[in-house]
Chains A and B, each alone.
Chain A
Amino acid sequence: MVNRFGSLSRRVALGALLALGLGSAGAQDKSIVMASTTSTEQSGLFGHLLPIFKAATGIETKVVALGTGQALDMGRRGDADLLFVHDQVAEEKYVAEGYGIRRMPVMYNDFVLIGPKADPAGVKGSDITAALGKLAKGKTAFVSRGDKSGTHAAELRYWKAAGVAGSPKEAFAAYQECGCGMGPALNIAASTGAYVLADRGTWLSFKNRADLDIVVQGDKRLFNQYGVIVTSPTRHPHTKTTLAWTFAEWIVSPAGQKAIADYKIGGEQLFFPNAGQ
């Protein structure tokens, strides 16, 4: 792990980042503030992608990683120049409300159901609805992020599809909400031998696996679509629309899409570019 830290530092060392630079980003060098999600940041994608973008355009991208819900709130408040999140329904509502110019699909990754290797609930397979249906009827614990994130929203959709009416919290006793990010949720699952829905990216970089492994994957419904939205200048005139737009155009361009596809952990590709589809 020292190597990983060291290689990140080599990439990050592209800019001269030792200045303390107190004060406004407004009048400074070319930089944009991008609100994204913790799962995307923790997958390491930005560490790979942003230096390439900066080398191509000279623009510094400052990523604030939050849950999708918080990221959208940040956009509504005008504190971000653009968003890069994965909750299509919420994103389209955001644009409809006039906070964003347009939503453009960028890439997808997939969710996986994680659980103890021994699989006490017997849900192993490639059908997520069947698996969750079984969990809802059993006694094994399930950890939910419960934080309005894209992952959380997807999870709730799968429960509904599995036939759980209303909130899963009321449906079965072993359902726990931690109100936390993907990493902490995995930590909890690892220490208590519970099941948890995670994005593949975070899972691949997660170190504290204990007894856990992937139990369900490959279901088409598990695919998780990412979109990029530039903040509307009519709503928030102070935002750096042109620079943010440069990023949006780049990420859906062949160069950006290739950069996404090139990102691998342990030889495995995490994100699948699908702009324009």
Chain B
Amino acid sequence: MAEALITLDRVLLRYGTHEALRGVNLAVRRGERIAFIGANGSGKSTLLRVLHGLLPPSEGQRRVADAPRMAMLFQRPFLLRLSAEANVRVGLWLAGVRGDEARARCAEALARVGLAAEAKRPARALSGGQQQRLALARAWATRPDVLLLDEPTASLDPHAKREVELLLDELAAQGMTLLMASHQLGQVKRLAERVVYLEHGRVLADLPVQDFFDGAAPPEARLFLKGELPW
């Protein structure tokens, strides 16, 4: 059993008086692909941020092994008013990668996501799908150990969604550790190997994906799934 990359031990997170996460125990191993699902307000976005390290727990512990590099994608990517490649270079600069190395990685990342031709265009002039792919390039260029995704395709039209999902599929196939909060069950079924179901800040289920969808999920989760399934 490989040592856990990230471990959460009885984590509690409070915003003021509101408890967004209660008593969460979780271990993430290298190469795992975990989907976090639950209703809005269930705490899945907060959990992602605690796993990333963006938010420190109010109580309990977050432990990591080997100082893993984290990268995160958000539903609406924040891109600076610069060219596409400049945005990637800024991401690299913030990760401590400079000069020729940065230039090379930038070109590689843009090519990887299919945006090499748009390198010099203003990032904000790109389409929704292109912008999310650019965010992916920015994240990927830093060679992260863990890629966290908070509803990465929720704002995209079907075509753009497909573009991004294809890239995520490839990354998953190459062994990237993926932690994803999503409403898109098709996405979850395809990409994840493990599903964590949250309700009101608590983990109610933590199962392999097959088991979760085949009926081993607890009643609350099944109710949730019913509501989420399209007609």
Q: Do chains A and B touch in the complex (CB under 8 A)?
A: no
A residues contacting B by CB (< 8 A) are none
